[in-house]
Structure 1
Amino acid sequence: MFTVRTAFTRISRLTTLSLMSATKKQKMSLTIGTHDGTFHADEALACFLLHNTEKYQGASIVRTRKPELLAECDIVVDVGAVYDPETNKFDHHQRTFDDTFDDKHSTKLSSAGLVYKHFGREALRRMSKRELSADVLELVYQRIYDSVIEGFDGVDNGVSRYPADLVPKYADSTHIAGRVSRLNPSWNDKDADVPIQFMKAVRITGDEVSSQLDNLVLSWLPARDIVANSILNRKSVHPSGSILELETACPWKDHFFDLEKDNEGDDTSGILYVIFPDSAGSWRVQAVPTQPTSFQCRKFMPEPWRGVRDQALSELTGIEGCIFTHANGFIGGNRTREGALAMAVASL
């Protein structure tokens, strides 16, 4: 039976559909402007990040250098010689531009870093496969810049990672900027579809950030509590407090140094070794490095042990179950927890 209520319901549905359609149309009508010609990794990533914000998801990308066309865009990145967040202009090529991510960084921002600085938190929150608290989001936001985005900024601005007089011993063309560069049409390819190639670059740069984010949220962050607990309970492993025991193998170095920096009332500088089970069922003892990425250690394992393996090492150390000590002395192995702990204690 057709009633007034039925008619009202139908009208309401039509109105809702109309509003949804208008909203979708509005989103699709937004445009991101960037330069045409040869494209680079920084503006490709900038476009990817913007596509992961609520406002610019689904926005079309206009590649041009014509001022009249850029003026019609809702946001402009990597072109136009203007940096003005209030008017959605994010270029870094102008002579007066010298902005960095924050006071702790000296690398000048590219369009990738600029967009990340202003929209990165929202993009990461929407991209993450898990809900992130405000504190965790900030931690991830800083970490992604340090491990990924700053590399885009440095390459695009010609900032060398090494002293100017240091010549690399080998070429590396597989980094993200090199991969994006190869997507540009070659000089003798007159039939290339540049917009398609550019969108491939957007996907490649986006996949890099997405995979880094997944690793941080799903693997790196869960390890933080494990490391924190090991620091708190270290004296139950050995009275000296110089040996940490991790309940499982996990990415521990970054967390260790972060937590050490935060633990102002707890002197952890005397922590020298970490023991943990490995994936094969044996145990490892690893010397704490002087910084997360260094092979220089606070205290290497004993020199006479280095490069010795198996029974010969057990006889040398007087510890059963030894597997190896690395030739550089930064890590060793034993078949049991007790053996790994004994190796760490003897190394003290």
Structure 2
Amino acid sequence: MSAQQPAKRQDQRKVIGTHNGTFHCDEALAVYLLRQTEVYRDAAVKRSRDPAVLNTCDIVVDVGAVYDESKQLFDHHQRGFTEVFGHGFTTKLSSAGLIYKHFGKEIIANKFHLALEEPKVETLWLKLYKEFIEAIDGIDNGVSQYPNDVEPKYRNRTDLSSRVGWLNPAWNESVESSGVDALFEKASSLTGEEFVGRLTYYGGAWLPARDLVAAALYDRTRVDGSGRIILFTQFAPWKEHLFELETEADVPVFAKPFYVIYPDETGGNWRIQAVPVSPESFESRKALPEVWRGVRDDELSRVTGIDGGIFVHASGFIGGNQTKDGALAMAKKALEL
């Protein structure tokens, strides 16, 4: 072996490099995510700012002032770094976002035993960035959540980034570097546990609900020729999915549904709910008729002319009937009024 050739590591495990000292949520999560990939599974970690040490690592995150995927260098602190996730997201990436952008689809595909090109993988990849990763990127990069500098009414220090920060030794606490490294591993496990929990929910509950809503939206003209009524045969969260799917399918305004019919969570009765004008709005596209509002039970059955009436909310956004046919009859009659 020539003197110029670096000695080979005896430990053939891959090594992830990141900075030492105070650790943060972004590199703690980045390390966890890398350990969920085939290449870096169970990799060791070296925490240092020494270029000579970092040069021995197989991949480096959050240190080194270079972003170059081909060289497996993923820092975001350097002057001129402006990388964002894309797909409509504009928050500057931290090391968590960088690693997720490049390796997230593989992690998701492996988790659910899906092909990398399966559309569900991209759907979950974008959802997890929006609901979980982007906030970590924003906090680490100092991106204000309030672009107009509105003063919040209270401080929130229960977020994941804050909880990782609290794992660092106090300023007046003397801890050896090996002890800090152990705390970093604890932080990485914490971020990973929350990431996997969120991914498990979105893949196991959120995505199946989306499939149900997509099928019901497609079949709505079989329920009523107008296409204004959607029928679910089982309860599932539908609001967020409906608006996204309408946009994806480019459903014209005149064909968008007014009412959703579904069994309540007990499975005993049925609900008719007016679709809001937006996911967070209290205003409905077409509220249930004013004359029905605030009326209950037998009086509601009398007013509507439909047996099995339970209630209609005073605002007209939701009502109930004892049977599916009754709820569907209420929806059809409401379209006419």
Q: TM-score, normalised by structure 2?
A: 0.84
State how far apart, in whole Å, the 2-side matches of 1:191 and 1:311 are.
72
Aligned to 2:5: none
CA deviation after TM superposition for structure 1 residue 243, in Å: 0.9
SS in 2 for 1:101: strand
Question: Is this contact kept in 2: 1:284–1:332, CA < 8 A?
Answer: yes
1:40-90 Cα distance to aligned partner (Å, 9 max, x none): 111111101100111111111112222222222211111111111111111
Q: 1:186 to 1:311 in 2, by over 3 A?
A: farther
Cα distance, 1:94–1:296 mapped onto 2, change above 3 Å: farther
Q: State the superposition RMSD in angstroms.
A: 2.9
Partner in structure 2 of residue 112 of structure 1: 96
Secondary structure of 2:213 counterpart? helix
1:152 maps to 136
Equivalent of 2:32, from 11, 36, 48? 48
Residues 174/315 of structure 1: CA separation in 2 closer, same or farther (3 Å cut): farther
For residues 116-145 of structure 1, give each alpha carbon's deviation from its aligned partner in whole angstroms, at most 9, with x where no partner exists: 1111111222233x4356222122222221
Partner of 1:57: 41
Q: Paired residue for 1:226?
A: 212
* TM-score of the two chains, using structure 1 as the length reference: 0.82
Residue of structure 2 in register with 1:250 after alignment: 236
Match for 2:80: what amino acid? T
Residue 334 (1) aligns with residue 321 (2): yes
* CA drift at 1:107: 0.8
Q: Does 1:215 align with 2:198?
A: no
CA contact (8 A) 1:127 1:210 kept: no
Amino acid at match of 1:170: Y
2:165 corresponds to 1:178: no
Tell me, yes or no, if the aligned pair for 2:307 and 2:326 is still in contact at 8 Å: yes
* 8 A Cα contact 1:260 1:268, kept in partner: no
Q: How much has 1:323 moved relative to structure 2?
A: 3.9
Name the CA shift for 1:234/1:38 in 2 (closer, same or farther; >3 Å). same
Structure 1 residues without counterparts, runs of 5 or longer: 1-23
1:165 paired residue number: 149
Identity %: 50
Instruction: Find 1:272's aligned residue among 230, 252, 258.
Output: 258
1:122 pairs with 2:109: no
Q: Does 1:101 align with 2:88?
A: no
In structure 2, how many angstroms separate the alpha carbons of the residues matched to 1:323 and 1:194?
61
Offset at 1:325? 4.1
SS at match of 2:60: strand
Rounded to whole Å, the distance in 2 between the matches of 1:252 and 1:227 is 6
Report how many residues are paired. 324
Deviation of 1:276 after TM superposition, in Å, equals 0.5
Task: Give the superposition deviation at 1:303.
Answer: 5.3
Deviation at 1:326, TM superposition (A): 4.5
What letter is aligned with 2:34? L
Give the Å deviation of 1:32: 1.0
Matched, 1:90 2:77: no
Greater shift, 234-243 or 50-59, is seen at 234-243
In 1, Cα distance between equivalents of 2:30 and 2:264: 40
1:197 aligned residue (183, 189, 192):
183
Q: After superposition, what is the alpha-carbon deviation per residue over 1:25-47, rounded to whole angstroms, capped at 9, x for unaligned? A: 42x2x211112222111111110
- Which residue of structure 2 lines up, in the alignment, with residue 77 of structure 1? 61
More divergent stretch after superposition (146-155 vs 326-335): 326-335
Partner of 2:274: 287
Change (3 A) 1:40 1:243: same
Out of 335-344 and 35-44, give the one that drifted further.
335-344
Q: Does the 8 Å CA contact 1:81/1:93 hold for their aligned counterparts?
A: yes
| Residues 134-161 of structure 1: CA deviation (Å, up to 9, x unaligned) | 2221222222212211121112112223
CA contact (8 A) 1:82 1:92 kept: yes
